[in-house]
Amino acid sequence: MDRFQAMRLFTRIVELGSFTAAADDQQLPRATVTHAIKQLEAKLNARLLERTTRSVRTTLDGEAYYQRCTRLLADLDETEAVFSQSAASPRGVLRAHLQGTISRHFIIPALPDFFARYPEIRLELGFGDRPVDLIREGVDCGLRSGPLPDSSMVARRMTDLVQVTVASAGYLARHGTPQHPDELHTGHRAVNYISLASGRHESLDFTIDGENRVYMLPSTVAVNDADAYAAACRAGLGIVQVPRYHVLDDIRAGRLVEILNPWRLAPMPVQAVYPAHRQLSPRLRVFVDFLAETFRRAAADGRL
Domain shared by 278 and 259, yes or no: no
- Is it the case that residue 57 has pLDDT exceeding 70? yes
Pairing type for strands 211-215 and 121-127 reads unpaired
Going by pLDDT thresholds of 50, 70 and 90, the confidence category of residue 81 is low
- Is it the case that residue 228 has pLDDT exceeding 60? yes
Domain shared by 147 and 173, yes or no: no
Query: What pLDDT sits at residue 214?
Result: 95
Domain shared by 54 and 132, yes or no: no
Query: What pLDDT sits at residue 25?
Result: 86
Distance between CA atoms of residues 50 and 62, nearest Å = 9
Quick one: angle between helices 30-44 and 3-16, nearest 10?
110
Last residue of a domain, one of 35, 56, 82: 82
Q: What is the pLDDT of residues 145-175, one digit of tens each?
A: 888 776 778 899 999 999 999 999 999 999 9
What does pTM read for this prediction? 0.71
Last residue of a domain, one of 39, 63, 82: 82
Query: What pLDDT sits at residue 83?
Result: 64
Domain shared by 239 and 281, yes or no: no
- Is it the case that residue 275 has pLDDT exceeding 70? yes
| Residue bearing the bigger pLDDT, 51 or 172 | 172
- Average pLDDT estimate for 19-25: 89
Domain shared by 102 and 152, yes or no: yes
Give the N- to C-terminal CA distance of the chain in Å, as an integer: 51
Last residue of a domain, one of 82, 113, 134: 82
Domain of 194, in residue numbers: 163-263
Instruction: Please choose, from the candidates 181, 234, 175, 249, the residue with its C-alpha nearest in 3D space to the C-alpha of residue 209.
Output: 181
CA distance readout (Å), 180 to 85, 168, 213: 60, 17, 12
Domain shared by 136 and 278, yes or no: yes
Is residue 226 a contact partner of residue 195, using CB atoms and an 8 Å limit?
no
Average model confidence (pLDDT) across the chain: 89
Domain shared by 173 and 259, yes or no: yes
Residue 108 sits in a domain of what CATH number? 3.40.190.10
**Please, what's the largest Cα pairwise distance for the chain?**
74
Domain shared by 31 and 96, yes or no: no
Distance between CA atoms of residues 270 and 184, nearest Å = 29
Q: What is the percent of the chain where pLDDT is above 70?
A: 94
Query: How many domains, the chain?
Result: 3
